[in-house]
Amino acid sequence: MVLEIKGLRVRYGVGEVVRGLDLEIAKGECVGLVGESGCGKTTVGLSITRLIPERKGTISSGRILLEGQDLLTLDHESLRKVRGKKVSYVFQEPSSSLNPVFTIYEQLKEALPGRGATDDDAVISDLLKSVGLAKIAGKKNIYPHELSGGMQQRVMIAMAIVPRPDLLVLDEPTTALDVTVQNQILDLIMELKNKIGLSVLFISHDLRTIFRLADRVAVMYAGRIIEEGPRKRIVAQPGHPYTVGLIDSIPSFEHRKKRFDAIEGRAPLFSDLPQGCKFHPRCKFKIDKCVHAEPELEELSDGHVSRCIRAKGLIANGAIKGS
C-alpha cells in the first residue's frame, strides 16, 4: 500500500470531526472520498501531512503510513521533505494557490526538484504540454491572471506532479470550474494517473465526479466512512441508504427519484451527534436498533463494506438498488 490511514481521529473546537477512520490506497489506485459538506473530507486530506491549522485542530490518534513510514511521528524537518514532494496537493481555488506577482514560468521553475539544471526550460515546456497547455509552453512572461480558471488548475496539476509524488491529494479540484472545463480537467487527471501510475486521493462532495474517476469509493458521513468498495460494485449495488441518496441526487440519475427520494434533512452537527447510527434521523429505513448503537463496518461482498445493520436485508428485498 502507498497510503494506510489507521484509526485516525481529529478534533476541532466543535468536537471530534474525524472519528476513527481507516483508508488504504494502493499504487496507481484512485480512491474517491465523498460526502456532504462538512463531513470531514478535507480534514482527512490535510491530516496526511499534518496540515490541520495549529491551535484550531489536533490529530488525537491514529497512524498515517506513507510507503510504510508513519507521517504522524515525523519531526518538522522530515515532514517538510514529505510535503509537496512525496505528497502533493491540489485544492479547489487555483487562483489562491498561485502567486500573482510571479510568472507561471518562474513558479514552475521553483517547483522543479533539481532546479538550476540547463534543461529546465525544456522540462517546463514539456510539463506544460503534458497538462494540455502547449499554447503557453516556451512563454516566460505569462502571469496567473492571464489564464482562465481551468488553465490555472492545469498549472497547479503540473506543479503537483513535477516532484513525482507517491501520493497526489486532489481536494475538490474542479468545483470552482464550469462543467465543460471540469470534465477536461478530470480527463487530464485520469490520463496522468494512468501514464505515470500515480496514487490519488480524490476528495469531492460530488458523487458524479467520483464515479468518473475513482477505482474505489469511500463514502463519509459525520466523520466516519459509512460505505466503501470498488466503484463498479457501488454503482451496481450501493450498500447504504445514504449512498443511495447521494446517487439519486446526481442530475443524470434523476429518473431514479421516482423510486427513491433524495436525502432529506441535514447532516448532524459535530457538537450534537445523535446516538446510534449517525444517519438514522434522516433514514427512512431506520428501526429501533439503529437508534441505540453505532454500527461497525460489515462486509457485503469482497472489499465492499457498509456501516448499516440493515444493508444485507435491504439489498435482498430490493429496497436499495443500483443502476
Ligand X SMILES: Nc1ncnc2c1ncn2[C@@H]1O[C@H](COP(=O)(O)OP(=O)(O)OP(=O)(O)O)[C@@H](O)[C@H]1O
CA distances 49 to 32, 76, 129, 149, Å, are: 18, 10, 29, 26
The DSSP output letter for 279 is T
Q: Choose, by CB under 6 A, the member of 14, 122, 134, 291 that binds ligand X.
A: 14
Stretch that binds ligand X, among 13-21, 75-83, 122-130, 291-299 (CB under 6 A): 13-21
Residue among 297, 273, 277 nearest 286 (CA)? 277
Does residue 202 belong to the site contacting ligand X (CB under 6 A)? no
Binding segment for ligand X (CB under 6 A), chosen from 8-16, 77-85, 132-140, 210-218, is: 8-16
* Residue 316 CB contacts under 8 Å (≥ 6 apart), including other chains: none
Site map 234..273 versus ligand X, x via CB under 6 A: ------------------------------------x---
Quick one: which of 53, 100, 116, 318 contacts ligand X (CB under 6 A)? 53
For ligand X, give the closer residue by CB, 56 or 255. 56
Nearer to ligand X, 38 or 238 (CB): 38
Q: How far is the CB of 175 from ligand X (least distance, A)?
A: 9
Residues 6+ apart with CB under 8 A from 202: 30, 31, 32, 33, 170, 173, 189, 209, 210, 213, 214
Instruction: State the nearest-atom distance from the C-beta of 127 to ligand X, in Å.
Output: 29
| Phi/psi-derived region of residue 68, left when phi > 0, alpha when psi is between -120 and 50, beta in every other case | left
Which of residues 42 and 306 has its CB atom nearest to Mg ion in the complex? 42
Give the count of beta carbons closer than 10 Å to the beta carbon of residue 200.
25
Among 19, 30, 40, 295, binds ligand X (CB under 6 A): 40
Residue among 170, 150, 248, 169 nearest 208 (CA): 248
Q: Which residue in 23, 26, 41, 52 sits closest to 92, CA to CA?
A: 41
Binding status of residue 134 toward ligand X by CB under 6 A:
no
**Near ligand X by CB under 6 A: residue from 55, 56, 255, 258:** 56
Smallest distance, Å, CB 246 to ligand X? Answer: 13
Sign of CA dihedral 242, 244, 247, 253: negative
The residues, ordered by sequence, that sit 6+ positions from 114 with a Cβ below 8 Å of its Cβ are none
278 contacts ligand X (rule: CB under 6 A)? no
Q: What's 180's DSSP letter?
A: H
Between 44 and 111, CB nearer to ligand X: 44
| Binding residue (CB under 6 A) for ligand X from 19, 31, 32, 43 | 43
Residues that bind ligand X (CB under 6 A): 12-14, 17, 35, 37-43, 53, 56-57, 205, 270
